[in-house]
């Protein structure tokens, strides 16, 4: 069996972050689990659905820990590996940290796929780990019916310089660093309506690591009060979680949301995933979407894979942060502002 004739998206039912367990269902499950009592050194856990856990080791060092894996979202193994790695690394960057070590998580159908597929997947991931200046230290694999791949990532952050989704302040400006629409465009790919070349703008964005810290000064980094990355729960779900964790409301300009050029057309053709519906259900009681048209409403629920960072920043620094980030993330946009808590967590205008 040759790689050229094995489109990976055709081997699975769901791909990328759209394969996540629906947030509503996940919360219901987790609420029934009695987790261990947290140590005093545990600074961030999963209670507020933040992007990673943070555990303080010394006065100056805290560990940032996360993991992420999923089924193929792309057909080309090396591209899939690169996107899976960038997506997993993003959680550490979203906490203001730097990745240090990674371990691979692999499920692979030995009987139906050639070894060359996983070699390419691993190489694509390894290239991204190298780009992040982290170390690949090992991993775990199983023989399974379908391919699944991702990384467990550990990073460092200074305990007093970490970002969480609970620090947004009224008056902050809201910035998004990557366009929306990877879910619907990769759904079109899976249905073979578009090729990888035709959605290359989304692929390159998904494969770009979210190392915004490398482009900002220490003063600019200190001006970021809250952060999260936009992944499987869509812009709607992650923005809502940030607003609720911070006990504020976000006012978002509907026309300022950066969007891939083919995204609205794909949504219009109804290239949708189950996550579009589950994300809408998850957020329906916390969003004011009266200002949105049908396609905009679908766009905010679109499940992103390796999406951008959502940043809440001191308004005095928002222009300089925008200018700095646009050098590496050209779609970076000022999309709204943080307000005192209102009846809805996220309000679209």
Indicate the length of the chain as a whole number. Answer: 349
Q: What is the helix, strand, coil percentage profile of the chain, to 5? A: 40, 25, 40
* DSSP structural state of residue 180: B
Nearest to 180 by CA among 201, 149, 194, 152: 201
C-alpha 316/C-alpha 313 separation (Å) is 8
- Adjacent-strand bridge partners of 289: none
312 in active site: no
Helix intervals (H) in 58-147: 77-93, 115-131
Which of 8, 12, 17, 85 is the catalytic position? 17
Residues 6+ apart with CB under 8 A from 148: 69, 70, 71, 105, 106, 107
Nearest to 205 by CA among 330, 67, 68: 330
C-alpha 17/C-alpha 69 separation (Å) is 8
Distance of CA 169 to the CA centre of its chain: 22
Q: Is 69 within 8 Å of 9 (Cβ atoms)?
A: no
| Catalytic residue IDs | 17
């Amino acid at each position: 069996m040759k790689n050229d004739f094995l489109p990976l998206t055709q081997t699975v039912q769901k791909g990328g972050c759209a394969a996540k367990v629906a947030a509503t269902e996940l919360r219901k499950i987790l609420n029934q689990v009695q987790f261990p009592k947290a140590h005093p050194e545990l600074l961030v856990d999963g209670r507020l659905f933040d992007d990673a856990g943070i555990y303080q080791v010394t006065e100056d060092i805290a560990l940032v820990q996360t993991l992420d894996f999923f089924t193929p979202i792309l057909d080309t193994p090396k591209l899939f590996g690169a996107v899976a790695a960038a997506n997993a690394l993003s959680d550490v960057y979203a906490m203001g940290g730097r990745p240090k070590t990674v371990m691979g998580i692999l499920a692979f159908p030995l009987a139906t796929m050639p070894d060359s597929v996983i070699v390419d997947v691993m190489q694509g991931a390894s290239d991204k780990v190298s780009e992040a200046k982290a170390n690949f230290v090992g991993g775990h694999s199983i023989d399974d019916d379908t391919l699944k791949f991702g990384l467990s990532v550990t990073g460092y952050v200074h305990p007093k310089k970490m970002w969480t989704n609970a620090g947004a302040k009224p008056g902050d400006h809201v910035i998004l660093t990557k366009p929306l629409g990877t879910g619907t465009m990769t759904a079109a790919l899976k249905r073979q309506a578009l090729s990888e070349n035709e959605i290359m703008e989304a692929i390159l964005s998904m494969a770009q690591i979210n190392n915004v810290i490398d482009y900002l000064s220490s003063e600019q980094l200190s001006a970021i009060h809250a952060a999260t990355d936009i992944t499987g729960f869509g812009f709607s779900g992650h923005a809502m979680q940030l607003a609720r964790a911070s006990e504020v409301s976000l006012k978002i300009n509907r026309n300022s949301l950066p969007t891939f050029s083919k995204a609205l057309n794909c949504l219009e053709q109804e290239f949708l995933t189950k996550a579009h519906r589950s994300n809408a259900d998850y957020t329906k009681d916390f969003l004011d979407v009266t200002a949105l048209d049908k396609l905009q409403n679908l766009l905010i629920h679109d499940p992103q894979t390796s999406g951008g960072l959502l940043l809440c920043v001191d308004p005095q620094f928002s222009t300089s942060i925008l200018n700095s980030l646009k050098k590496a993330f050209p779609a970076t946009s000022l999309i709204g502002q943080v307000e005192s808590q209102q009846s809805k967590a996220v309000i679209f205008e």
